[in-house]
Each structure stands twice: as structure tokens, then as C-alpha cells.
């Protein structure tokens, strides 16, 4: 929570992101041995908070941020030995696609689950470079800032205040 308050004092998103990365890097170095997330439904140890994966979200007044927390699942938090720290240069990132065979989905099942959709667009109706020459562009009228340019609505408002008679406008006139 203190990190978010410190981030809120910085003016730009880039500065907030740089500060968040440095704060999380410092947090990683000072991370106690037995840390866990109390909201998780399983016993685990927090191994590290990858500071390079953090991102500051858009907000005008505050500085919300999103972080990843790497955990190691264990059988019993109180009795399991504390996991050894692995230097960050030895940690290998994996992509979800590498773990798909472990999920029981074979390559054939993955390939069969996708289908192609034909293109129903008529290519004859597509725009070509020749069509650009046929386009007509209307340029907006140039308005000058003078007393003669009072809008019709303003004139009607002034007139209606003087007459005190109700003005009826049909829907088709709009």
C-alpha cells in the first residue's frame, strides 16, 4: 500500500513504472523466508515478485498497479522447509504453450479444434487506389470572429425573451 502512495506523487506514467520496478526489486531482495498470500486457497511460499513483469495502470489521481507473484505450492506451510533462493539469472520463463501436453490435450486434438472460415467479402466492392480520385471532400466554411456571426439560436433566444409567446417547433423542422 505504501508503494501505491509513493507512486501517486509522481507526475508521469513512465516515472511511476520506473519507480514501481525499483520498489519491487528492493522488495525482492528483502523478501522474508516465510511469506504467503492469505487469500490463496492452498498452502504455498512466495518465492519472488518479478519486478520486470509489473505494470502501472492508467489512473488520473491514483497509481494502481499490477504485479505477478511467484509461489511454490507446499503440503503444509508451517512444517515445509523454506525453499532455497534461485538467482534471477538462472530462472527460466516458460510459455503456456509449452505446458499444453501436460494438460492431456494432444497436438491432433488442438489442430482439430480449430476451423477456417471462408472470406465472404466481395473483392469487387473493395476500394481501389483509383476510387480515391473520385472522392469529393467538402472543406469547412471559414468562420470569422465578428459581431455578425451570432448564431441563429442566440438571435431566436433574444427574440423569444422579448415576445413571451411560446414557440412551437415541429419534429420535421429539426
pLDDT tens sequence across 151-171: 454 445 555 455 566 666 666
Instruction: Compute the distance between CA of residue 71 and CA of residue 53 in angstroms, rounded to an integer.
Output: 15
Within a domain: 17:
yes
Domain containing 71: what range?
2-82
Instruction: Confirm if 69 and 37 have CB atoms less than 8 A apart.
Output: yes
Within a domain: 150:
no
Q: Which of 30, 34, 33 is nearest to 78 (CA)?
A: 34
pLDDT (tens digit, 9 = 90+) per residue, 122-136? 555 544 545 555 555
Within a domain: 34:
yes
DSSP state of 51: G
Domain count, the chain: 1
Within a domain: 129:
no
Instruction: Compute the distance between CA of residue 37 and CA of residue 71 in angstroms, rounded to an integer.
Output: 9
Within a domain: 159:
no
Amino acid at each position: 500500500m505504501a508503494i501505491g502512495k509513493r507512486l501517486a506523487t509522481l507526475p508521469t506514467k513512465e516515472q511511476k513504472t520506473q519507480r514501481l520496478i525499483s520498489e519491487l526489486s528492493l522488495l525482492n531482495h528483502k523478501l522474508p523466508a516465510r511469506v504467503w498470500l492469505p487469500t490463496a486457497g492452498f498452502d504455498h511460499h512466495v518465492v519472488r515478485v518479478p519486478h520486470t513483469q509489473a505494470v502501472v495502470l492508467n489512473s488520473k489521481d491514483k497509481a494502481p498497479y499490477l504485479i505477478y507473484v511467484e509461489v511454490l505450492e507446499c503440503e503444509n506451510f508451517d512444517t515445509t522447509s523454506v525453499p532455497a533462493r534461485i538467482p534471477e539469472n538462472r530462472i527460466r520463463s516458460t510459455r503456456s504453450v509449452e505446458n499444453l501436453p501436460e494438460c492431456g490435450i494432444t497436438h491432433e486434438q488442438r489442430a482439430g479444434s480449430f476451423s477456417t472460415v471462408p472470406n465472404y467479402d466481395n473483392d469487387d466492392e473493395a476500394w481501389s487506389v483509383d476510387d480515391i480520385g473520385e472522392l469529393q471532400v467538402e472543406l469547412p466554411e471559414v468562420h470569422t470572429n465578428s459581431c455578425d456571426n451570432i448564431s441563429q439560436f442566440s438571435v431566436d433566444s433574444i427574440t423569444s425573451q422579448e415576445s413571451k409567446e411560446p414557440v412551437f417547433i415541429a419534429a420535421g423542422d429539426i
